[in-house]
Amino acid sequence: MKKYEDAGCDHIMMLMNFGGLPHEQVLRSMELVAKKVMPAFKVKKETVSL
């Protein structure tokens, strides 16, 4: 996903519920993305001058 970010992509759609996965596995996938992936893509604060 870093390559996409480097290419200028600022939105990614992720399909977590596919192929009849059990609900528990879908939730676990979402939890892992939130804990392990998303922190690497924190929003950078921009300075706004008025």
Quote the CA–CA distance of 34 and 14 in Å, as a whole number: 12
Q: Find the angle CA(31)-CA(15)-CA(24) to the nearest 5 degrees.
A: 45
Which tens digits make up the pLDDT trace of 1-50? Answer: 889 989 999 888 989 888 889 999 999 999 999 999 999 887 766 666 66
Quote the CA–CA distance of 38 and 1 in Å, as a whole number: 10
Quote the CA–CA distance of 13 and 41 in Å, as a whole number: 14
Q: What is the pTM of this model?
A: 0.67
